[in-house]
Amino acid sequence: MSYFRTAILLAGLTGLFMGVGYLIGGAGGAMIALVVAAATNLFAYWNSDRMVLSMYGAHEVDARTAPDLHRMVRELAGRAGLPMPRVFIMDNPQPNAFATGRNPQNAAVAVTTGLMQSLSREELAGVVAHELAHIKHHDTLLMTITATIAGAISMLAQFGMFFGGGHRDSNGQGGGLGIIGSLAMMILAPLGAMLVQMAISRTREYAADETGARICGQPMWLASALSKIENAAHQVPNMEAERAPATAHMFIINPLSGQGMDNLFATHPSTANRIAALQQLAAHSGGGGFVPPSPRPMPSPSAAPRGPWNGGGTRRGPWG
């Protein structure tokens, strides 16, 4: 059902793009918008992973430079029936992660240094499994396409406002929207695109949580990780994400400050709802329950204790 809903939302986003093109240039404008959409999607298909990884200063690691993390990703990818993705680390104090790539054969998983410092091996395995689930579902390509189309709709609406906001009929008479209509288009079209993009993102997060929990075999590992990341995301800023908010939907938890409830304007479902769904899955599979800890202030990056992923711990779990 989630795939059907995603397909409907994506079709609606493409239709909105063509509709804006029609309002600006009639039938010809709609066709131009369709061509632009195809061109932007083709560009995103081939270049999205390199662009976003470069944006966040991610550097690739291997079995020599990050043996524990690399081994964990390899083992979980094997459990998921996926080829080994490339593994990247972002030098960022906020615990977070995302996956990118046009298909499972050209995928990458990126985690922050803050994530590796603050989570246990089991919790990190839950996060990695969630990102592998996005790769397995081809969500990495889908979310890039939706972000690209949404951005193109915004640019197209601004273009229409700049050039008069409407096409003319065969007699040269104004058939456009007028000033008020142009203003409404400039505001409502990008808003509608943003709402559809966020609805797609929320749908895919629930599906990735469930599949990720099944990949790692313990829903509560992911539930515990989500609680910790949610607490930290409100306290530790991610400046790269703040400068590029269009990429916020890619992360496992919204990296932007001020994330609210699970509503139309949220890029992610509420973490409480996600944990509740994982608790229900664990109960059905005999995995027990999880009680999120009380929020507490995060230490500054310079004062952060060294954990099992940055050389300070000796505890070894099933993934190390």
In a domain, 310, yes or no: no
Percent of the chain, pLDDT > 90? 39
Residue from 43, 47, 46, 55 nearest 110 by CA: 55
In a domain, 109, yes or no: yes
In a domain, 270, yes or no: yes
97-101 and 59-61: which strand pairing? unpaired
The whole-number average pLDDT for the span 127-144 is 89
Of 144-153, 162-171, 214-223, where does the model show the most confidence?
Answer: 214-223
pLDDT of residue 184: 64
More confident residue, 64 or 203: 64
In a domain, 320, yes or no: no
Q: Which of 122, 123, 131, 230 is catalytic?
A: 131
In a domain, 140, yes or no: yes
The Cα–Cα gap between 256 and 142 comes to 21
In a domain, 132, yes or no: yes
Dihedral of CA 33/37/43/49: which sign?
positive
Residue 25, domain extent: 2-303
Sheet with 86-90, strands from edge to edge, namely 59-61, 86-90, 107-112, 97-101
In a domain, 16, yes or no: yes
Cβ atoms < 10 Å from Cβ of 293: 10
Query: Packing angle between helix 139-162 and helix 178-216, nearest 10 degrees?
Result: 170
pLDDT of residue 315: 38
Residue from 118, 150, 154 nearest 253 by CA: 118
Residue from 242, 302, 198, 254 nearest 55 by CA: 242
> What is the number of domains present in the chain?
1
In a domain, 318, yes or no: no
Is there a catalytic annotation at residue 131? Answer: yes
Per the prediction, the chain carries an average pLDDT of: 77
